[in-house]
Amino acid sequence: MKQKKTRVAIQGIKASFHEEAAFKFFGKDIETIECNSFKQTCDSLERKESDFVIMAIENSIAGSLLPNYTLIREYNFAVVGEVYLPIQLHLMALPGVKFEDIKYATSHPIAIRQCVDFFDDFPHIQVIESNDTAACAKRIKEEQLTDTVAIANTLAAELYGLNIIERRIESNKKNYTRFLVLKQDKTEDLKEINKASICFQVGNHVGALSKVLNIFADQDVNLTKIQSMPVLGKRNEYYFYVDMEWSNMEQYDKAIRQTLKYTVNFNIMGEYLKNDKV
């Protein structure tokens, strides 16, 4: 009997950076479920139309994708992994198109922002925003646009048969995006865990947050990220999203137990294996 492929919901279409991140984490033998928005990826997982969601959570230039933190918390999905993807952006066009033929360049707004230095040198090229990097490449192929280039990854060039006419046009060559891997339920069979994503609130009084942070410091648990988000409709109330790493599991467990005394709405969003190779 043929084994069913793992189904991974991605925001965007095939050959988008989300699909590239999914391939990096799961390998290429997966079925990607294309979704128009991050909310749609969550709906797909909730309806069991996919087994996992891969979701961008931060970019080293553009910063955190704040709405995605809210989605993970509201859907109550488990974070079961992470993947870091270097964002390499290329200019691609139909075969035979030369650089001097180009009048328009099209891509996702964040990708465009990452290439502003390049386009400053070519003011005659009109830059047009679109909803997805790979979709821009697909449109050039389908509509046979000879005056337009897409800014996308090599995966998109290969899939849609485009030529890369200028490589690595991103301004910052150390640009990467971190993606989280989400599942409906926590995975109990993870043999090795050394990283966690948690969420909590603290009282609005002097030293409330520092007390919690000091508990982790005392137990040698390294906090790698803290992100605050206002609680909707409540003044001066915040959710704190914290990523942490440890080398001693007992110390991590002890820190979590102690933290519970000083927090409300405490939630371990996921415990997983650190995977920060770019």
- Residues 161-187: pLDDT tens digits? 999 999 999 999 999 999 999 999 876
**3 pLDDT exceeds 80?**
no
pLDDT confidence bin for 2, thresholds 50/70/90? low
CATH topology of domain 6-86+175-183: D-Maltodextrin-Binding Protein; domain 2 (3.40.190)
Q: Which two tokens stand for residue 76?
A: 């109550």
* pLDDT value of residue 97: 97
Percent of the chain with pLDDT over 70: 98
24, 50 Cβ separation under 8 angstroms = no
Overall residue count recorded for the chain in this entry: 278
The arrangement of secondary structure in 195-272, i.e. its CATH architecture, is 2-Layer Sandwich (3.30)
30, 162 Cβ separation under 8 angstroms = no
The arrangement of secondary structure in 90-166, i.e. its CATH architecture, is 3-Layer(aba) Sandwich (3.40)
pLDDT confidence bin for 205, thresholds 50/70/90? confident
Give the residue from 46, 173, 197, 39 showing the smallest Cα distance to 55. Answer: 39
**257 pLDDT exceeds 90?**
yes
Same-fold call for 6-86+175-183 versus 90-166: yes
Output the CA torsion sign for 156, 158, 164, 167: positive
Amino acid at 251: Q
- This prediction's pTM: 0.92
Domain range annotation of the chain: 6-86+175-183, 90-166, 195-272
pLDDT confidence bin for 55, thresholds 50/70/90? very high
